[in-house]
Each structure stands twice: as structure tokens, then as C-alpha cells.
Chains A and B, each alone.
Chain A
């Protein structure tokens, strides 16, 4: 049992923290968000240069063969700096599909472009009525000879507007909520029959609603078994959930720091408001919430090594519950302790609150995951 980082992991942490300290203060972030597409290609290039985009890929595929702990380190740093570039969509999610389900040809075709930063990806999964159930899929992929024809609508696809390639869940067989008959397809974003309606999200990212009308892809577009890819989707979703738990821990950590700093300096009644016990106790409770979330983020990260898929996903769901509760408390109280200034778009603290809030509703909210753990028989086994 060990919770320390290895020497290499510490170096990684220092290097990503260093890069973001240098290139990603709040003003820089605002500048990046105004660039075309809403994020910085130059910054993305620097992430590539430092090897961060190739981290989780096998050395044979040109990556560094890093594990879940390294992803946690990077995501936590991205959370601290409120990074808007599409690391989650491209490296964690698309990378996850390629690593766990991709054929040799698919890996060779797509992974190098992720690693060198030349291409980004998006995961088109959410549908009008699917909510958080990954198996609730209406979008159809109908077989036409060797090819598939995709028809349907996907919503709030992160990085969907900018991505070069979409990873699409679509039904090859069965009814809307059947757990079998789901496929995952690599679809060029400029394929004929695709329309994308892009928009910014509440937390400063970009997403798109995407319509697929008779979009034809080859048989080689399917990742894994086109008739039974749900286990793959769930595995990648668990990795993505674990990653955003770490991102939330980074964002909460920084929110608490900013808030403590603020109440130490803000004066009312002639004294720093941080000298008032009601505020001190609130800050102490925020610290408790943060540490409990950090523990569960580590738990989910280490659970990726669990052999048993049920145990793994129940650990991740439990982490999402704890992180969801903690982020709501830390986020809301950060605003409260900042007072009026916390309500302004100009102050950084509100942007942490907004990102944290959106993380709760990504890939299953607190209630959703609580139900999952509960229906699975609890956590004590």
C-alpha cells in the first residue's frame, strides 16, 4: 500500500504544473478561449511537445505506456488551471477507445495524430432521451454490404465542433435500451451527411449537436465488436469518469486556496473576514470535503487495476458520488465566501464553480451513480 508518487511521476507532475504555471494564467485562458474554435492550437502543441498527449499509449504505438496515475496527475493539473483544450475528449476518451478496442490498423492510423497534436477527437454519445445510460442508444448503424450507414442525432458532444474524427455510439441491433447490439464507430467529422451545430458551454468549453443522415462508413470504422461494444464503452467511460474526478479535485483544491487567500485579505468591520469563526469553520468543512474527494479520486484511479469489472465500476461510481457531493459544497461555498465579487464574470472563482458544476453532470451525476452502487449491492460487499 503506497500513496506516494514515483520519482518519474513526480517529474511529470512538476513538468505539467510548470508548463501551466507558465502558459495558463487566467488572462491567458481568456485569450485562448477567444481563438478560433475556443481553444489554443499553440498550447495544444506545447502539450504535445512535452509528451502529455502520448502519455497513456503503449510504447509500441509511439506513446509512453503510462498508467492511470499519470492521467490523474495531468487531469488534476488541468483542473487547477481550468484548461479548456480537449484533453479529455481526445487523449482520455478517444485514446481509451483506441487503446482498449482498436485494431492494429486503427491504432496505426489514429494514434500518431493524437500524440503529435495534429488531430483532435470527440465522443458522440449523448442522445435526446438517453441521459446517463450508455446503453440507451437510438442512433442506428445499419449494415449495407460491408459498410455501415449511420442515422441519428447526438447532443452536447464535447469538442464536437472542432474534432477531426468523431467516435460515435450507434445501434446495430435490438431496441433502444438493449444492452447488446451497440457498436462504436470512427467517423470523419467532414463525412457526407454530417451537420454540426457548435456552441460554447457554461464552463467555457465547446460542444456541438450533431446530426447523422445516411452517413456511410466502412467496416473498418467499427472499434471492437460492432454488435457488442457496450463493455468497451463502459470501460472507457469509467476511465473518463476517473479522469474528471481528478480534474475536479484539482479545481476544488485551487478554489479552496483562492477562497482562503481571499478571506485572509478581504477586510470588513476593520478586520480580515477570515478571522470570523463562521467563515473559518466553513473553510474547514471545504477542506474536509476536498480531502474526502481526493481520497476517492485516488481510489478510482487505483481501481483501474482491479481485475473484476463490477468492482472497478462500482469503485468509480462511488468516487463520482463523493466527488459530486464535495464539488457542490466546495463550489457553492467558494462563491459564498467571496461574497459579491464571487458573482462576477471577472473573478476567477466563479469559473471554477462553473466547471465543477458541469463535471457533476458529465457521464452520470451524483444520484445516478449512487443508484448504481446501491443497486449493485453497496460498497462493502
Chain B
């Protein structure tokens, strides 16, 4: 057992840090630090900088533009990216549909889609959840009927993140209504510009517009847009969801936020002294730092294990990552609320500063707190994660 990184790994970390320092647009970084939303342009600009460097799709196989890094290098890269902070690659393309295409797609699909995913020439969104199918995803109803060399797609998806920017969607559709629910689903990709696709915004409690409803009304899609085999879509969906086990902890994101809390709490005063000097507050902050350190170590155990023994058999500790990672992210936003106190109230509808000019960073704190309630719901709610632990790990 040894906690230290090797000399080569430390040099790699320096290289990554240096690159971020010189290449992440400062305004993008500032917005992330303050919990603001980025524009499509800001995100795409950064992703193309990353891709030009060869770091757009780091974990893909080398032949498709991946880096061939070790698991530890991947870990370091993600950690540095999250804690700098810089925008993470668009998960829907890079972590989700990309690996499905290079694993199950045909040569034509690989050639057509993969380079465009890497360079974000296409913005992808995920068509999984439906109004009646959340945790029970396999009950989904969106239908794709084969008609000659076409699919005719009808139905509705929801919680579709950033569909307003999307060029392409990967969609789970029911293709065999007679089969048992997991068995009759196919994985189909198509253009969001297709006739019959309607995107409607959902405004979330923070006031933001991240998610959407997407309606399909007799959408015609070429048959060849099926990925892999017909009615095997559920297997690909499981593969996709199991793919990003360690990134989900978002240790770097929480680390960056905790540093920010410490900095803000040294500026904001309460009772004639900086909030950070209040022992009760400081102990809460410290307790969160300790939880995060434990999570970081748990993540490193999973990473080291994958590096040594391959990704085949997941380390049982990996199921801890989603639960704890989301809880800690939520705690950090609660701590920010505590720091700011009564100045959390002004609702900054049009992006101007809050009522206290010396706290112009304050306007995003309550929205970020509200918004972060999502992290224990999405990606398999924490209750589903507990089901997974109790079945897969404890054998209950």
C-alpha cells in the first residue's frame, strides 16, 4: 500500500495543470466558480480546445482518439479538470453514446459519429427517461415501428438535459411490444432536427433551463440508425450506465467548492467576525472535508483496483461513490447557503447582481443549492443505488 503518486504521475499532473492554466478561458472558469450557467458557445469553445490537444475523449480506445492513459492518469486528469474548475466533456456524447457506438456500432457508424462526438460537431442528448418511466426505466413506452427502411418513432422523453442545444439524440425505443419489458427495447440515434421532434423547456426550481421535454410525432428515422442489434437496447443502456463509475463521485468539484467556501467564509462577517471563525460553522465545514477525503480515498481504491485488475469486476466500493458523492455535493451547497445567510434571498432573474453589491457573487448560491437537489435523483437515484448495494454487494 502506498498513497504517493509516482514521479511520472506527478509530472503528468503538472502538465495537466499547466495546460488548464494556459488554455481555459478565464471567464469560463469564473462562471463555473460562481455556479453560473455557461452558454453553448463557451462550452463548445473549451471542448474544442481540449480535443485539439488530444484530450477530448481521453478514455476512448486509441484508434478512436483516446489517450491510452492508465487509470491513475485518468483520475488525475478528471480531478484537475473538476477542481480547476473547467467544464467537463459533454457526458452524453463522450461518456455515454460514444462508448456504445465504438463497442456495438458498425464501421460506418463509427466513422460517421465518433470524430464528430470528439469535436462536439454534434451536440448529443439522451432520450431515456419518460414521464412514466423514471427509476423503472425499462417500462418505457416510446415506440419505434419498422416501416421498410425506416423507423417511425412516436412518444415522449423527459428530463432531457440541454436538448435545446442538441443536434442528435440517442434514444431507447420499444420495438417489440410483445416481449418482456427489458427484451423489446432498441437503441436508436437520430437528428434532433428531424420533422416531428418538438423540444419544450422545463424550468427547474432554481429558475434555470437545463432540462426539457422532447416529443416525437411520427418521426422518420433511417433503419440504419439502429445501434447494434434490434431489441438489445437494454443491454447497451446498462453498459452505458455502468461505464462511468468513478467520475460520478465528482470529488474535484466538491473540493473546489469547499475551497471556495473557506475563502468566502473568511470575507463574510457575522457577529463582528468572519464566519470562518465561528467554531460551529468551521466544524461543519471540516466534517464535510473529512467525508470528502474518505470519498476520495474510496475512489482511489476503485481506480487503483481497475488499473490493476481491469474493469471487468467492479470493486464493491464503487457503489459508494454515487451516494456519498451526491450527498457531499449537496452539503457543500448547504454550507454556501449558511455563509451567505440572509443575502441568499434576492432572486436574480435577469443575471444582475443581488442587493448587496459587495456580495455580487451571492446571486447564484441559493439557485445552486436548489439545483443540486438533482444530484441524488439523477443517474439512478440514491434509493436505486441502495437497492444495487443490497442486491449486488450484500446479496439481500
- Mark A residues whose CB is within 8 Å of B: 1-5, 69, 256, 260, 263-264, 274-275, 277, 279-281, 283-285, 287-288, 291-296, 298-299, 301-303, 305, 318, 321-322, 370-371, 373-374, 378-380
Contacts and interface: CB of A to CB of B under 8 A. Distances in A.
A1 B390 contact: no
B394 A283 contact: yes
A378 B285 contact: yes
B270 interface: no
Nearest to A2: B2
Contacts of A374: 279, 282-283, 285-286
A288 B286 contact: no
B293 interface: yes
Which of B286, B298, B300: most chain A CB closer than 10 A? B286
B3 interface: yes
Contacts of B316: 287, 291
A370 B286 contact: yes
Contacts of B287: 321, 370
Given A1-B9, A380-B258, A318 B390 contact: no
Contacts of B286: 370, 373-374, 378-379
Interface in B211-225: none
Nearest to B285: A378
Given A5-B1, A322-B291, A380 B386 contact: no
A3 B394 contact: no
Given A287-B389, A379-B293, A69 B323 contact: no
A291 B317 contact: yes
Given A287-B394, A292-B324, A379-B286, A302 B383 contact: no
Contacts of B324: 288, 292
18 contacts: A1-B5, A2-B308, A256-B394, A264-B396, A277-B387, A281-B386, A292-B291, A292-B298, A296-B294, A298-B1, A298-B301, A299-B297, A318-B293, A321-B287, A322-B290, A322-B291, A373-B289, A378-B285
B396 A274 contact: yes
Determine the interface band of chain B, counting residues with CB < 8 A from chain A: 35 or more
Interface in B136-151: none
User: Main secondary structure on chain A at its contact with chain B?
Assistant: helix
A295 B9 contact: no
A301 B1 contact: yes
B333 to A, nearest CB: 17
A7 B2 CA distance: 14
A284 B294 contact: no
B291 A288 contact: no
A3 B395 contact: no
B317 A283 contact: no
Given A1-B300, A280-B386, A374-B279, 11 more contacts: A1-B3, A281-B386, A281-B387, A284-B393, A288-B323, A292-B298, A295-B301, A299-B294, A301-B1, A302-B1, A322-B294
A288 B396 CA distance: 15
B320 interface: yes
Nearest to A286: B394
B262 interface: yes
B289 A378 contact: yes
B157 interface: no
